Amino acid sequence: MLVLGIETSCDETAAAIVRDGKEILSNVIYSQVKTHTPYGGVVPELASREHLLKIRPIVDQAFSDAGMTLDDIDGIAATSGPGLIGSLLVGLTYAKALAFSKHKPLAAVNHIEGHIYSVSFEHPEVEFPALGLVVSGGHTNLFWIESASGDFSNLHYKLVGRTRDDAAGEAYDKVAKLLGLPYPGGPIIDRLAKTGNREAIPFSIAKISDRSLDFSFSGVKTAVLRMVKENEKLKEDPLRLALLAGFQEAVVNMLWSTTARAVTLLSPRSIMLSGGVAANSRLREVFAERTAEAGLKLYYPKPILTTDNAAMIAAAGTAKLMRGEIAAIDVNADPNLRLAVAERDFPAKRWK
């Protein structure tokens, strides 16, 4: 099955052609980062306008890179939420128009589910049930993922933990802005923090409760703000590097400590990391060390599939189309679309 994937939920206009949810024939990503950098973050109006300009050439490029035309594909998958409403509408409406005019089935894909499927290309062997940690600019969610068929073709999700305030990527971006670093802050902080002493400036991490699997990042962000206000020297190297390394350590520790608690409570067979922040080198390092110690399998995608892309949307969409979950032509974009409702009692129930 050949599927065209379209992703426009935030500030990337992306299109990809994927065969059988496995083989990426083309993967075109146009990043709007230059447009938004002067504002220190994504400006929704500018994002949707730029998606409008780029959607057609990017989809055309995905077809030409794959050596195909619209007539060759079997279905279309587009992100329908969550995300910026104006941005989502551009990709979803374009996909609907293509599907309608060419009589192709359409799958409406949840962006978060797309991130989870980004792992499936290189690691179709993931063993379920798995814990799926999705860490991006807009989301920090911990899912309990079961498979009806043992593989990626039919997954079921329970949301067992989420951020109570900022998303992990949002904390990176805000701290970067505070220190005068350009948007997006994650990749720059990742690079700069490598040379900083991560123990020089310790951060205490918020503990929500022993039973909760939720996260919180606004405390670390506010701590950076307070420290910088009290000591201007923290804006200059080498103190700045130590501050960034300490901040990153606190974020990574928060992510690992909650995941570790979920491992104890739920006994998954593997852990999947995805979303833009999963590209972080320290996060990968810490998770790799700790999961190896615990004898757990850890899976994450290569960096190009970690941040927003349409190949992951095509993969999740292929599974939907194969199951016959075809979207109606009047399907709407939903900026708050959920993959699963929060399961407050779920870990406690399994604890016994």
Spatial distance between the Cα atoms of 267 and 289, rounded to a whole number of angstroms: 18
* Nearest approach, Cβ of residue 313 and ligand KG4 (Å): 12
Q: Which is nearer to ligand KG4, 219 or 303 (CB)?
A: 303
What are the Cα distances from residue 226, in Å, to 85, 175, 232, 242, 322? 34, 11, 10, 15, 52
All residues at 6 or more sequence positions from 329 whose CB lies less than 8 Å from its CB, including other chains: 96, 99, 100, 106
Helix (H, G, I), strand (E, B) or coil at 140: strand
Task: Pick one of 136, 258, 270, 306: the residue that binds Zn ion (CB under 5 A).
Answer: 136
Spatial distance between the Cα atoms of 10 and 236, rounded to a whole number of angstroms: 32
Binding residues for ligand KG4, total number by CB under 6 A: 19
Helix (H, G, I), strand (E, B) or coil at 238: coil
Q: Which is nearer to Zn ion, 113 or 308 (CB)?
A: 308
Q: Contacts with ligand KG4 in 124-163 (CB under 6 A)?
A: 136-138
What are the Cα distances from residue 67, in Å, to 25, 125, 231? 9, 29, 57
Spatial distance between the Cα atoms of 338 and 352, rounded to a whole number of angstroms: 28
Q: Contacts with ligand KG4 in 58-77 (CB under 6 A)?
A: none
Task: Pick one of 4, 6, 10, 296: the residue that binds ligand KG4 (CB under 6 A).
Answer: 10
CA atoms within 13 A on the CB side of 6: 33
Q: Which residue stretch of 191-199, 263-271, 300-308, 327-335 sits at the interface with Zn ion (rule: CB under 5 A)?
A: 300-308
Q: Which is nearer to ligand KG4, 98 or 254 (CB)?
A: 254
Q: Which residue stretch of 20-28, 36-44, 180-188, 217-225 sits at the interface with ligand KG4 (rule: CB under 6 A)?
A: 180-188
Q: Which is nearer to ligand KG4, 81 or 275 (CB)?
A: 275
307 lies in the binding site for ligand KG4 (CB under 6 A): yes
Contact positions toward ligand KG4, by CB under 6 A? Answer: 10, 136-138, 169, 172-173, 184-187, 190, 275-277, 279-280, 307-308
